[in-house]
Amino acid sequence: MCPDCEDFARTVLLLGQLALYADMAGADLDFVDVVSPSLAASLPEPPPGTFPDGSDLDADPDRES
């Protein structure tokens, strides 16, 4: 697996685990609120072929900013 692929997969996994943690009883939601945007912002560019052709949101003129 390429280094970018590993980084992308690991970050997506961490975001998923954070979402599961947020749904647990007694979860520290302040922690979730602080960590989730930082983790999402750290996502590298997705590896080529991750999404189907034509799914580039940057090229979508109807995309909300």
Q: What is the pTM of this model?
A: 0.66
pLDDT (tens place) for every residue of the chain, 65 residues total: 676 778 888 899 999 999 999 999 999 999 999 999 999 888 877 777 777 777 665 665 565 54
Query: In this structure, are residues 17 and 62 in contact, taking their beta carbons and an 8 Å threshold?
Result: no
Distances in whole angstroms, Cα of residue 39 to Cα of each of 4, 17, 33, 36, 52: 15, 12, 11, 5, 24
Phi, psi angle pair for 26, to nearest 5°: 85, 10
